[in-house]
Structure 1
Amino acid sequence: MQSVLGDKKALVILLGPALLVYSLVMLVPIFWSMGYTFFSGNAISGFTFAGTDNLTRLFTDPEVRTALSFTVRYAVVITVGQIVMGYLLSLMYVFILKKSSNIIRTLVFFPVVLPTVAVALLFQKMFEIAPQNGLVNSLLNGVGIESVDWFGNASSAFWVIVLMDIWRSMGFYAVLLYAGLVDIPEDMLESARLDGATGWRLIRSIVLPLSMPVLLSSIIFSINGTLKVFDSIVALTNGGPGSSTTPLTLYMFRTSFAFGDYGYGSSIALLLTLLCLIVTIFIFRSSRRDLTKD
């Protein structure tokens, strides 16, 4: 192994093709998109140099502020919901169900493998008000409450999206966090129990600190995924009512391909990239402490 690592020619032969493919697939499009931010137009009508107009337009565009506000709010709520529900389920798998958790884990994980469009259609039918009441409105009518137009109001549409995406993804984070919990040494848990640590005290003092690495990875994975949400929004509300549930990704898509402004669309993409980078760095820096001190 040392001879291979010390041979520069061997390293070039082994790593060169992979680095070349990575550069062509990932790095070149990134820099290409950054170059578009200085131009306006598209491939059909042609491009004209716009300087920093697209970047300055980001700070004055009310649609960007609306999309950014929705994106951040959605990312925070969904990330908290995914991690909390996933962690509670993983604790249930390990400490309550134990070896009999296989069937429950499979059932909870099942929505993860369903197509996004199928899940969105399911929730549309459940919450619809026309041409006939869905399941939710039928239940409300059954207890004497009038039907609610869930997708006609910005607030209710937001919470339907939240409910759908948490239900669809919590099984994935439950399995991810479960993998971290089962790695905690059983003898350490048993020693803590002998010292009188049970229930919440055991989780707070032993389980939570030891599962922090996988918990941190799950948070980063979740928040970066939710900041880049696209398919579930398009399938369920298509950004409506109005533009109240339009994330940055959907606004970027419409700007680039519906309105044909590649330059401004690339500027929105750059804003989203910087947002993901800042959030990830913030999470890493805020978690840099010695967990054993507690």
Structure 2
Amino acid sequence: MNHVLGDKRAIILLLGPALLVYTVAMLLPVFWSVGYTFFTGNAITGFSPAGFANLQKLFTDPAVGEALVFTLKYAVIITVGQVGLGYLLSLLYVFAIKKGSSLIRTLVFFPVVLPTVAVALLFQKMFEIAPQSGVVNSAMNALGLGSIDWFGNGTSAFWVIVIMDLWRSMGFYAVLLYTGLVDIPEDILESARLDGARGFRLISTIVLPLSLPVLLSSIIFSINGTLKVFDSIVALTNGGPGSATTPLTLHMFRTSFTYGDYGYGSSIALLLTMLCLIVTLFIFRSSRRDLTKD
């Protein structure tokens, strides 16, 4: 093995095809998209040079500002919910319901494999007010409360999106974090119990520090996914009412393919890419600083 890894020709032969596919499928489209930011127009009407006008427009476009605020708010709330609920579920799997955890893990994970459109249609029916009251409004009416037009207001529509996406994704993060918890050596947990660490103290002083690497990976995975949310919002609200639930991805899509401005759409995509990189680097640096203090 050392002889093979020390041979440059063998390394090129082994890694070359994978690097070629990655370059063609990932890197070239990224550079192509960055190149579009210096032009205006599309493939049908043609392109004309725009210089830095598209990038300058990002800082003055109120639609971009509104979409950016929504994206950040959605990403923070969903990431905290996904990882937090997933971690709580994983703790239950390991410490509370050991024997029946396989069946429960399967049931909680099941929404992850459902099609996004099917889940969105389910929640539309659950929260609808017309042509007939959905399950949620019917339950509120049974309690003597009035019906709410959940999708007619930006705030209520946002929370329906949050509920739907947390329901869909918490099972995935529960399984992901569960794999980190089961790797904690049992003798360490037993030693901590003998020293009197139980319940919350055991989790906060032993389990949480030892599961920090997989927890950090889950946070990075979640924040990058939520910053790039697209399908669930399109399927449930299509960015409405108005543009109240429009993230950067949907605004980029409409700018590029509905309004035919590839250059400005690529500029929005570049903003989203830089946002993902900045957030990821911030999480890495913060976690490294905490580890250094410890």
Q: CA deviation at 1:13?
A: 1.4
Per-residue CA deviation, residues 141-184 of structure 1 (Å, 9 max, x unaligned), is 00111100000001000000000000000000000000000000
Output aligned runs, 1:65-214, within 5 Å: 65-214=65-214
Letter in 1 for 2:150: W
- For residue 12 of structure 2, what is the aligned residue in structure 1? 12
**C-alpha distance in 2 between matches for 1:89 and 1:281:** 28
- For residue 240 of structure 2, what is the aligned residue in structure 1? 240
**C-alpha distance in 2 between matches for 1:9 and 1:221:** 35
Output aligned runs, 1:246-257, within 5 Å: 246-257=246-257
- For residue 40 of structure 1, what is the aligned residue in structure 2? 40
Q: CA deviation at 1:99?
A: 2.7
- For residue 50 of structure 2, what is the aligned residue in structure 1? 50
Shift in CA distance, 292/35, structure 1 to aligned 2, threshold 3 Å: closer
**C-alpha distance in 1 between matches for 2:290 and 2:261:** 48
Letter in 2 for 1:220: I
**Runs of 4+ more than 4 Å apart:** 289-294
Shift in CA distance, 292/20, structure 1 to aligned 2, threshold 3 Å: closer
SS in 1 for 2:97: helix
Output aligned runs, 1:15-30, within 5 Å: 15-30=15-30
- For residue 262 of structure 1, what is the aligned residue in structure 2? 262
Identical residues among aligned pairs (%) = 79
Per-residue CA deviation, residues 15-39 of structure 1 (Å, 9 max, x unaligned), is 1111111100000000000000000
SS in 1 for 2:132: coil
Q: CA deviation at 1:291?
A: 4.8
**C-alpha distance in 1 between matches for 2:261 and 2:79:** 32
Shift in CA distance, 200/288, structure 1 to aligned 2, threshold 3 Å: same
**C-alpha distance in 1 between matches for 2:203 and 2:256:** 48
- Are the counterparts in 2 of residues 123 and 164 from structure 1 also a CA contact under 8 Å? yes
Letter in 2 for 1:103: L
Gaps of 5+ in 2: none
Corresponding pairs, count: 294
Shift in CA distance, 293/271, structure 1 to aligned 2, threshold 3 Å: closer
Q: What is the RMSD of the two structures over their aligned residues, measured on CA atoms?
A: 1.0
**C-alpha distance in 1 between matches for 2:275 and 2:44:** 30
**C-alpha distance in 1 between matches for 2:79 and 2:13:** 41
Q: CA deviation at 1:292?
A: 9.4
